[in-house]
Structure 1
């Protein structure tokens, strides 16, 4: 299951919509302060108490880039997935020393290397600020609502975290605006790579096995948090437990699911099905094709483009699965039935009906505007620059210069005082830039913008002038100096004066392009975002009024917990066992990509315990962003790390199916076996065993 590192704007098409009834069975991505204790106790005869929940919350880690993780030693050691650190491994690699191919297994802590742009965050408190935010919004609508909401959020975040060196605050909207909560994090901005297997071991089976099971993937890695040049002390960590899972045992995932939007309406589902996916899925497909063609026959391009290609392939497969779920007649009919049930119950309650009005009708009216504005908003604002790192740098510099001249409460989200430290870190950390890939990404965005918005559109004319997409991309990439972090830092610190004085062609291009992007953003907020927030708040009132507090909010890349058990399923009448073992890896290997056996596993064949459980599945409810989430046993120990879901999990974007939805996990037993005989590392083994 891919992380969130692929540009979030293009993933707008991942809007996912779900059942509107109360949660049932093992469904639910629950906030840590609202765990359904009684509901779980009825199913399993046991549920964790507050002390248990507090312990795992203190050990849970959120990683920038869209992944989850956990502390597993008292010296800042972090367990996550290989695919969550792949960009770090790529950044540390060279043509001469390719850690993607060979893996990274440092002998000492001194050899653990910094991951550019990475930050680890641990939730320290969650506060309900709903009354404050709603009071500030008042009766505002449209753009005024967005401005009032963003202003009070900026104030709350700044007041909540005065020490921005070690803390970060985020106000998060839950239930589409029905609730607002302030999350406070202890942050660690120096995160280093402590161990990673080879890519072939981590992603054995490649795209054919992605979102499938059985799996034989060593999709695990270790990071370490540092502060003042030393590993941080983390007494609140999970106990490493390298044992095999037992069929039927209770399991928990604690992580940061990215985005589900399970509470949207039939109208919004129709928009995703009929507008978003038919546009975005072909974009993924075409970019995938361009990448493969550009990389073919060129080993260095194959190496430097592989990270983006993996993300594109993962997202393409996921988006296709989401779209397929919406077009499945039985699945869609069930969702429609759930909404009809909610609307009927609201209509039958005169007081509730008077309170909420008709938010469904309001969303239908908003939908007309959404459809009119979507293409402009997608290509000019949310997809601006495509996947170009250089364009992102330039836009961040230009917007930061403009926004920092405004009072904190009037800035765009992402540029407020609470957000600036991470933004500056992401901007100024050294990252490798590959010009060929930058040109390809920029040219792709420019060509598709011209195709979808049409050549004669004024905004397209201002973007391209008399140049071709390919020629303009080549000129900008060859002329810019933004690949140098010192140049980026100087422009960021110099503010608008430095930006306007810059002769950098990419900075000047973004200065020109940003006017149209900002204009469509303002219109989108006034006609879509603001009115939708009002309707969503009413929908939340409707659900609370009908179902009480038996609801969980949509995923928001904030800390959640789900419970489930180790359990297989039936695939078209054939039972799928819940575990795989090392022996299956060797049986599955064919010698041809993507089933070519990693060389280090071939060499260690005689030493490996073939009966060791490799991967396993559980009924835990997860989604993208949960990658790296610790899978925790009843005793609070970690027995695995979630790294994927089966193909049915994609429908979980819209509604959880306890019969078919499964989380795919790499077992701690497999990681321990790898550390013992495949990538011998006595240092890490002693640390994990607390010796």
Structure 2
């Protein structure tokens, strides 16, 4: 699909008919609308099907989804979900991004630094307990009191479990309408098994991103290990090379990151006018700096590739979100939905007396958020930009300070369990590129000064008499945090070691911490607490009026969506649902980013050119679903989700079933490539074993 087809026209017709919304929904596994689906398609999965899929679905710590596809811990995900592992394992002499990676034997499978895999074990409703803890609490204290209550419930749920094997997370659903305890089985040893060349994982590059037709082998295989051996996973999805046809029902089981479909229109305006606008401006400058840096030499190009990919992907996705929120027709629809809900509340005196006017409460909090936004954005939310070293320094300083406080006085997210998890991440060894670190730190310091002004007291404390450029260069050149032993010593030494450290990045993070923590607390007291209380009231109204047969906003937790294989028609152009391997060779012009992989050209004559390559369906997804298995009615994996089309970029705020499409790479094309191009006989045999 050509990117000239803008979102505005497609969004103007959003939600105009119930038929367009038939496949809408990112459903939790404990509240799947089986009756609704059966009435639409004459089929719905039973509990045994749901249980098997839940136990086969995987969440990766890199912000992606995946699935178990063999009884020895083999995991299917996307190339771009494994790309950070590939980058960490690569070097100038051994570039797995350029050549691809295939483990010939189990002993050749390589540990992905810091990557973890999680499988959801159970979901338990804890709504009553959480709400009881905050009942009658004034708005400014709600966020802190709730955080303490949640931490205690999480610790209670996992008190008898091996902390290295399980984790318990409290998940807020329906903007605080429900609280569910999610218990995960954790695998902390994840190894790379297979990843194709970058030119195959991201064929078409940025021009084809969020478009269709696509011809990408955006797939990779990992494996979960424990005690040095592959884990036993008798429950897993069955592999098939069959590809579903047009109109056939398919499911996506994955972890959509976040949506804002239940936010008020005032909150969406704030998102559009403040957060998205500011971040896109900064992101565009970062993108330019990275592109310029890549021209220095081959090593700069290699080392910046993963970061630039992430920046460009985020830029395009959030550009789509901006387009959606700038469309007056779209906003009129959201405003009408909100007006209808308000009218139903006003028509219910008992409900009205119970909840009052939570929309007005949110508007009042947003007025305060506007005043706090820039300081919170640059001192707290986005501090350090892409500098991983400064991020580590900041975490070390904050952990030391928060650990010294009683739980009730700590910032949300700094329970003992959470601190322990962060410390483990801080001790992960990954490649560090100091030139890139300087770019990230310098950008943050310069943008913070630009937006907050040089006269801002926080900026004066942050920079002192130095320039952003000079401070960034000096701090990165002089830091010892590149050494794992140095980081470990600071963790073990606690607050005393942090306070005594002369490491320039620790000194900078110490200087920044007082103001950063203060704006964090202020935001929680004046904005987040009041908004969360008001959102709970709106959730209560939704439940009272519409019942519980609705789905919550995405929270990067396991969801199931259903739909059908289906192309679409837009502006007189019919887009078919599938592409083929033969189409890949036709599209490969030889010019970047349409350069065919040498391995594919060499094997061209042996490939079945009619093999379905990429496929689209009406499933409702969002970022975080990358790597999710595409599953047929029999519960077999038929593909791996890797993208959405251009129309789906407004999916953060609404779903349009006429045009929104999920894009997946088929298991048929993955198998064809493994067999005939990569000669991965061991891997193919494992996939085919029942």
Distance 1:395 1:71 in 2: 36
Moved more, 488-497 or 195-204: 488-497
Pair 1:80 & 2:77 matched = yes
Give the paired residue count. Answer: 674
Counterpart position of 1:125: 122
Distance 1:505 1:20 in 2: 57
Pair 1:514 & 2:524 matched = no
Counterpart position of 1:10: none
Alignment of 1:248-259 (within 5 A): 248-259=247-258
Counterpart position of 1:439: 438
Counterpart position of 2:9: none
Counterpart position of 1:676: 675
Distance 1:341 1:414 in 2: 36
Distance 2:687 2:448 in 1: 50
Distance 1:70 1:277 in 2: 32
- Answer yes or no: is the 8 Å Cα contact 2:205–2:593 preserved in 1: yes
- Answer yes or no: is the 8 Å Cα contact 2:76–2:222 preserved in 1: yes
User: CA 1:141/1:604 → structure 2, altered by over 3 Å: closer, same or farther?
Assistant: farther
- Answer yes or no: is the 8 Å Cα contact 1:152–1:409 preserved in 2: no
Please, which of 132, 137, 140 is the counterpart of residue 135 of structure 1? 132
Give me the TM-score of the superposition, normalised by structure 1.
0.96
Distance 2:666 2:416 in 1: 41
- Answer yes or no: is the 8 Å Cα contact 1:168–1:187 preserved in 2: yes
SS in 2 for 1:419: helix
Counterpart position of 2:350: 351
Counterpart position of 1:366: 365
Alignment of 1:24-39 (within 5 A): 24-39=21-36
Alignment of 1:80-479 (within 5 A): 80-162=77-159, 163-479=162-478
Runs of 4+, deviation exceeding 6 Å: 18-23
- Answer yes or no: is the 8 Å Cα contact 1:21–1:547 preserved in 2: no
Structure 1 residue 340: deviation in Å? Answer: 1.1
- Answer yes or no: is the 8 Å Cα contact 1:158–1:417 preserved in 2: no
Counterpart position of 2:10: none
Give me the TM-score of the superposition, normalised by structure 2.
0.96
Distance 1:586 1:330 in 2: 40
- Answer yes or no: is the 8 Å Cα contact 1:20–1:342 preserved in 2: no
Moved more, 64-73 or 137-146: 137-146
Could you report, residue by residue, the CA deviation over 1:544-563 in whole angstroms, capped at 9, with x for unpaired residues?
Answer: 11111121110000110100
Counterpart position of 1:591: 590
Distance 1:245 1:36 in 2: 23
Alignment of 1:37-52 (within 5 A): 37-52=34-49
Could you report, residue by residue, the CA deviation over 1:470-514 in whole angstroms, capped at 9, with x for unpaired residues?
Answer: 100001000101111221122112211221222211111101111
Pair 1:55 & 2:83 matched = no
User: CA 1:402/1:526 → structure 2, altered by over 3 Å: closer, same or farther?
Assistant: same
Distance 2:472 2:296 in 1: 23
SS in 1 for 2:604: coil
Distance 2:330 2:260 in 1: 17
Counterpart position of 2:636: 637
SS in 2 for 1:487: helix
Structure 1 residue 410: deviation in Å? Answer: 4.0
Structure 1 residue 422: deviation in Å? Answer: 2.8
Structure 1 residue 643: deviation in Å? Answer: 0.3
- Answer yes or no: is the 8 Å Cα contact 1:157–1:418 preserved in 2: no
Structure 1 residue 19: deviation in Å? Answer: 8.2
Unaligned 5+ residue runs, structure 1? 1-17
Structure 1 residue 158: deviation in Å? Answer: 1.1
Could you report, residue by residue, the CA deviation over 1:127-164 in whole angstroms, capped at 9, with x for unpaired residues?
Answer: 11011111111121334111110001111111111321
Distance 2:382 2:296 in 1: 30
Alignment of 1:477-556 (within 5 A): 477-556=476-555
Could you report, residue by residue, the CA deviation over 1:396-431 in whole angstroms, capped at 9, with x for unpaired residues?
Answer: 111111222233454333331332343122110111
- Answer yes or no: is the 8 Å Cα contact 1:601–1:678 preserved in 2: yes
Distance 1:446 1:512 in 2: 13
Alignment of 1:567-582 (within 5 A): 567-582=566-581
- Answer yes or no: is the 8 Å Cα contact 1:19–1:263 preserved in 2: no
Moved more, 506-515 or 615-624: 506-515
Distance 1:548 1:315 in 2: 35
Could you report, residue by residue, the CA deviation over 1:316-345 in whole angstroms, capped at 9, with x for unpaired residues?
Answer: 101110010111122221111111111111
Distance 2:426 2:606 in 1: 45
Could you report, residue by residue, the CA deviation over 1:337-390 in whole angstroms, capped at 9, with x for unpaired residues?
Answer: 111111111111111211221111111111110111100100000001111100
Unaligned 5+ residue runs, structure 2? 1-13
User: CA 1:565/1:20 → structure 2, altered by over 3 Å: closer, same or farther?
Assistant: closer
Could you report, residue by residue, the CA deviation over 1:644-685 in whole angstroms, capped at 9, with x for unpaired residues?
Answer: 000111111111100000000000001101100111111111
Counterpart position of 2:685: 686
Counterpart position of 1:13: none
Distance 2:23 2:503 in 1: 54
Distance 2:325 2:680 in 1: 47
Moved more, 320-329 or 407-416: 407-416
User: CA 1:552/1:369 → structure 2, altered by over 3 Å: closer, same or farther?
Assistant: same
Counterpart position of 1:8: none
Counterpart position of 2:5: none
SS in 2 for 1:617: strand
Structure 1 residue 603: deviation in Å? Answer: 1.1
Counterpart position of 2:63: 66
SS in 2 for 1:132: helix
User: CA 1:225/1:421 → structure 2, altered by over 3 Å: closer, same or farther?
Assistant: farther
- Answer yes or no: is the 8 Å Cα contact 1:219–1:643 preserved in 2: yes
Distance 2:17 2:151 in 1: 33
- Answer yes or no: is the 8 Å Cα contact 2:21–2:655 preserved in 1: no
Moved more, 140-149 or 174-183: 140-149
- Answer yes or no: is the 8 Å Cα contact 1:240–1:637 preserved in 2: yes
- Answer yes or no: is the 8 Å Cα contact 1:21–1:342 preserved in 2: no
Distance 2:490 2:219 in 1: 38
